Amino acid sequence: MSATYRQPGLVLTDRRFTVPLDHDDPAGETIELYAREAVASDKVGQNLPWLVYLQGGPGFGANRFVGKGAWFGRALKEFRVLLLDQRGTGHSSPANRQTLPLRGGPAEQADYLARFRADSIVRDCEAIRAQVTGGAPWTVLGQSFGGFCATTYLSLAPEGLAAALITGGLPSLDAHADDVYRAAYPRVERKVTAHYARYPQDVERARRIADHLLTHDVTLPNGYRLTVEAFQSLGILLGGSEGSHRLHFLLEHAFVRTPQGPELSDAFQEEVQGLLSYAPHPLYALVHEATYGQDERPTAWAAERVRAEFPQFDAAKSLAGDEPLLFTGETIHPWLFDCDPALRPLRETAELLAARTDWQPLYDPARLAANEVPVAAAVYHDDMYVDTAHSLRTARAIRGLRTWVTDEFEHDGVRAGGPRVLDRLLSLARDEA
């Protein structure tokens, strides 16, 4: 039964749907999807068009808004909004270290998770659209990985879309995971260099922490093994609008004096474990590289292999000389499944996914070239997470797509920019700007 409740100015309804695990076997096993319907309280009785929001990730449930912040308030001016927890996330049938053993061993778990990519998410949307809209097409707003899903939607089921709005999420149509990370490491280095230019005192702070981790075994309170590589991965913060400042404030209270000498402070460890733990979103680690799998080549831990081509990210080499420590970014490595207690039981499953060679194409270049759906995309200049050159190449390949290239925002512009980003995308899609 659906539950309806209120926040100031909003009426929210919990929606639950049953969809096939494998859409090619509609009579087979099913999973549950959860979504939250939202409508402005003064528009409850109106016949409004629908906007479905596809969250970034993969592996994250939809935003839990309180009130009408960010893009949400702008959307509610004219849409009913469906905040979908993509399969395996949020309140949808969960996929994590606790539930995956119900599938069987690692091989069965990997087969199950192979159905948690953008193609399945799009087919989920199509399976529930008739129940939500009565069959009418809806507008999709895709942030980051959600934009990858929107591009897949345009490839697989454009008839379901009234418009597609993409923010920080135009993928390459044909790049292998190796190509993605080969383009990513130089972008990450630029972000780290910019951070140190803003906060030069962090050069020595980061080196000191890295040196401590190279010479001490540190286990965080939740059981996470804090290695120097794990510490470097905090650079993922640098892709957001406030990330450089957050990293700076984290580093400035790293150490405390103890009778045994300097130690990493409890406050630092507590904050770091919250930033690094994959317990709330293990799918991100498990299927992240699989989002780039589209042919018979395995992804094979692409981020780890390609990192070796960029020796400046080697912490020990940096500390042996005078070079600043380089943080890393949105990359998944096999050592994560040793460090993180939420991932350790899934190491073999992750290895099988990395070795998989039967990935199906996620995009249809011919169909995109003939696209008739209004599409607008915000492309953030030097986006740390999604390569700008890849995005612009894809933009040229989708008929009628209009781009807004801006350096005003980072990857999280749809959140940090309030209503402005969505307003701009709607204007572009409607040929009003």
| DSSP 3-state of 365 | helix
The strands making up 80-85's β-sheet, listed across from edge to edge, are: 4-7, 10-20, 30-40, 80-85, 50-54, 138-143, 161-167, 375-380, 402-406
Q: Of residues 92, 120, 144, 391, which has the active-site annotation?
A: 144
Report DSSP letters for 40-73, one per residue. Answer: EGGGTTS---EEEEE-SSSS-PPP--SSSTHHHH
391 is catalytic: no
| Cβ neighbours of residue 238 closer than 8 Å, sequence gap 6 or more | 188, 191, 192, 194, 195, 244, 247, 327, 329, 384
Q: How many CB atoms lie within 10 A of CB 267?
A: 12
Q: Which two tokens stand for residue 7?
A: 């926040």
Q: Which of the following is catalytic: 195, 212, 333, 411?
A: 411
For residue 267, the SS3 value is: helix
The gap from C-alpha 152 to its chain's centroid, in whole angstroms, comes to 16
| 144 catalytic per annotation | yes
Catalytic residue list: 144, 358, 411
